[in-house]
Amino acid sequence: MSISHPKVREHAERVAFLAEAVAFRMKKDAKAAFFAGLLHDAGKASIPNHLFDGRNITEEEYAEVKKHSIAGFMALKDKHLFTAYCAGFHHALNTKGYGLTLKDFPENWEIQTVKKVLEISMIIAICDYIDAARTRDGVMKSEANGSGSSLKERLEKKFPDDLEVVRIALGEAAKIIK
């Protein structure tokens, strides 16, 4: 499995480093956050590269891109199940999300493992959003410019139950993402 598009690969690397820093600050598993961050978009390897060139994409193209969460889960599940679930969940943790659902967890998993996946996935989701908003052309930047709201305000609205993660992630992003 290889992510060949340089923008997608660089984004995954930035998310990995940011997620690791956030998890470390929160006394969570920083190593798990790093690898989950690095592979969170692994499913994009199955999506046409031209959809990641920074232009605004159509609704149909966006529907295709949204398949990457499940594709990432499928690609990783036989190699590293924990990371596979993080890839599958990183876009599913808000009301308009997509990807895996709580029903997709194995019934034999301990609640601590499920909780850890959800915690790391939330860190990944927030770091993913921050990096996209700070570095991508197209939708994220135009969304920011058109709304008149700051990145912090958008994150607080999107992740109202995780304001501590938002605060820490924004602080770490200021140090890491240029």
* Per-residue pLDDT tens over the stretch 20-54: 999 999 999 999 999 999 999 999 999 988 888 87
- Model pLDDT, residue 165: 97
CATH label of the domain that carries residue 45: 1.10.3210.10
pLDDT in tens, 65-97: 999 999 999 999 999 999 999 999 988 776 667
166 inside domain: yes
116 inside domain: yes
6 pLDDT higher than 50 = yes
**Which tokens sit at 101?**
């659902």
- Model pLDDT, residue 147: 56
- Model pLDDT, residue 91: 84
- Model pLDDT, residue 142: 43
1 inside domain: no
55 pLDDT higher than 50 = yes
Percent helix, strand and coil across the chain, each rounded to 5?
70, 0, 30
Q: At what angle do helices 111-135 and 6-25 cross, to 10 degrees?
A: 130
Torsion, Cα 92 98 102 105, to 10 degrees, reads: -100
Nearest to 14 by CA among 140, 119, 132: 132
**Which tokens sit at 75?**
């690609």
**Res. 2 pLDDT band, cuts 50 70 90:** low
15 inside domain: yes
Go through the chain and tell me how many residues it has: 178
72 inside domain: yes
Query: Domains in the chain: how many in total?
Result: 1
Distance CA 5, CA 132 (A): 15
SS3 of 48-76: the string is CHHHHCCCCCCHHHHHHHCCHHHHHHHHH
Query: In which domain, by residue range, is 139 found?
Result: 6-176
pTM for this entry: 0.88
143 inside domain: yes
129 inside domain: yes
